[in-house]
């Protein structure tokens, strides 16, 4: 992939598994380049660079601070455990680095607001690492949902994000450790479900959030599986439920039901394939006479990609950074606001679980 003359230079702090995917995305993005990688030791950084075939010119640092202090780094990608986000994202912003932060963005809304304030007051762009929002399929789904005749009014939604894990994961993975990723499955996979439901509802917050009475917590109190219901009151009333889990087989479902149409897909977070993706859509379907069948089957709506969704995410982030860096523009508020609303609802789900599945009014 040929690079533009003045690409946005990325530093990565932390050698998490997800950083492999994002470093590949940075390499594929025309307006971004991987400039530096920092780990807690120089050996770890070197091993990560070697394992992932990094270009020899990528700088390697034995600390996160050195990445943040490098004046050539424009932006940092932060894939650290969630409990470390507030410290390092704030420090990055204070060092005038634009921040691409892995999800969940923080352990709670107060921490995220601290990060967003630091980005805002230092004039740097913030975006979280939710990749599927950047897939062209998502834009296509939005187009069809917005068709008042085809889809009608959105009435109900269901989303799931689950995978099943080994004993080793439950004993050792950071995602089940209270001091590292205390939100467990809610933070890791529930983030996507909440985000998809808010996306479908055009980011209108629900009036009430009530967790389903079936949360599964480990001995340390970290959520391994949970579900939740949302309710929007008033004229545009609708409901949603989701289920997130480390205990069920892989699933990534999104189902949206409107007054005159419905939309389904089973791979909304990570599409089955990189180069194309689809969703099922049907409008105006009726049962046949005697209800022995339907008059219509859903249509597969297919979308093709030239670049993978995580590369499109990096490209969008680099585009916004470029406006600030080279045209004296201001940070864009769309992406931080999406993160803020997702985190706000996540806090409410957690609170509902902690209070014994009580409704929480927003």
Ligand X SMILES: *[C@@H]1O[C@H](CO)[C@@H](O)[C@H](O)[C@H]1NC(C)=O
Which residues in this chain contact ligand X in the complex, by CB under 6 A? 4, 6, 30-31, 149-150, 152, 260, 283-284, 315, 319
> 3-state DSSP call for residue 39?
coil
Q: Say how many residues make up the chain.
A: 362
| Nearer CB in complex with ligand X: 72/219 | 72
Cα 355 to Cα 362: distance, rounded to the nearest angstrom: 15
| Nearer CB in complex with ligand X: 150/324 | 150
Residue 278, Cβ neighbours under 10 Å: how many? 18
| Nearer CB in complex with ligand X: 241/260 | 260
> 3-state DSSP call for residue 76?
strand
For 245, what's the count of Cα atoms within 13 Å in the CB-facing half-sphere?
A: 22
How far CA 263 is from CA of 160, 162, 180, 236, 355, in Å, comes to 15, 20, 36, 19, 34
Peptide bond just before 344 cis, omega within 30 deg: no
| Nearer CB in complex with ligand X: 1/167 | 1
Q: How far is the CB of 238 from ligand X (least distance, A)?
A: 17
Q: How far is the CB of 283 from ligand X (least distance, A)?
A: 4
DSSP string of 249-310?
EEEB-EEEEESSEEEEESBSSS-SSSSEEEEEEEES--BPGGGSSBS--PEEEEEE-SS-HH
Q: Is 96 a catalytic residue?
A: no
**What element of type H or E holds 31?**
none
| Nearer CB in complex with ligand X: 27/315 | 315
Q: How far is the CB of 149 from ligand X (least distance, A)?
A: 4
Q: How far is the CB of 264 from ligand X (least distance, A)?
A: 16
Q: How far is the CB of 102 from ligand X (least distance, A)?
A: 22
Asked if 15 contacts 44 with a C-beta cutoff of 8 angstroms, the reply is yes
Q: Which of 103, 238, 341, 350 is catalytic?
A: 103
| Nearer CB in complex with ligand X: 315/339 | 315
Pairing of strands 59-61, 75-78: unpaired
Cα 86 to Cα 83: distance, rounded to the nearest angstrom: 7
Q: How far is the CB of 142 from ligand X (least distance, A)?
A: 18
- Phi then psi for 210, rounded to 5 degrees? -140, 120
Structure tokens at 361: 């009014």
Structure tokens at 228: 């939740």
Q: How far is the CB of 156 from ligand X (least distance, A)?
A: 17
Structure tokens at 191: 């983030």
| Nearer CB in complex with ligand X: 244/321 | 321
Burial class (CB in 10 A: 0-12, 13-18, 19+), 341: buried
User: Annotated active-site positions, please?
Assistant: 103
């Amino acid at each position: 992939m040929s690079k533009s003359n003045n690409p946005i230079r990325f530093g990565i702090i932390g050698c998490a598994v997800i950083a492999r995917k994002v470093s590949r995305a940075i390499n594929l993005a025309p307006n971004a380049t991987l400039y530096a990688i920092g780990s807690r030791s120089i050996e770890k950084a070197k091993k990560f660079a070697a394992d992932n075939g990094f270009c020899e010119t990528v700088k390697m640092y034995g600390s996160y601070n050195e990445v943040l202090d490098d004046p050539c780094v424009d932006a940092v990608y932060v894939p650290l455990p969630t409990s470390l986000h507030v410290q390092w994202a704030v420090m990055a912003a204070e060092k005038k680095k634009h921040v691409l932060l892995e999800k969940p963005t923080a352990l709670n809304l107060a921490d995220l607001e601290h990060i967003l304030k630091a980005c805002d007051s230092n004039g740097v762009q913030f975006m979280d690492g939710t990749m599927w929002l950047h897939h062209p399929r998502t834009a296509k789904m939005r187009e069809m949902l917005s068709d008042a005749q085809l889809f009608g009014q959105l009435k109900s939604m269901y989303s799931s994000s689950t995978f099943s894990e080994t004993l080793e994961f439950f004993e050792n993975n950071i995602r089940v450790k209270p001091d590292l990723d205390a939100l467990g499955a809610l933070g890791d996979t529930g983030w996507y479900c909440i985000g998809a439901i808010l996306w479908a509802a055009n980011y209108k917050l629900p009036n009430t959030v009530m967790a389903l009475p079936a949360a599964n917590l480990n001995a340390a109190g970290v959520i391994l599986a949970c579900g939740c219901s949302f309710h929007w009151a008033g004229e545009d009333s609708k409901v949603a439920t989701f289920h997130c889990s480390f205990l069920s087989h892989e699933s990534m479902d999104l189902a949206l039901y409107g007054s005159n149409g419905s939309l389904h897909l089973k791979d909304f977070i990570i599409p089955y394939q990189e180069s194309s993706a689809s969703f099922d859509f049907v409008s105006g379907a009726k049962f046949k006479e005697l209800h022995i069948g339907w008059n219509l089957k859903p249509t597969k709506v297919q979308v093709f990609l030239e670049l993978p969704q995580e590369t499109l995410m990096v490209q969008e982030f680099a585009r916004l950074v470029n406006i600030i860096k080279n045209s004296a523009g201001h940070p864009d508020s769309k992406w931080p606001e999406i993160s803020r609303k997702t985190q706000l609802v996540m806090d409410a789900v957690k609170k509902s679980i902690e209070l014994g599945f009580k409704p929480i009014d927003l």
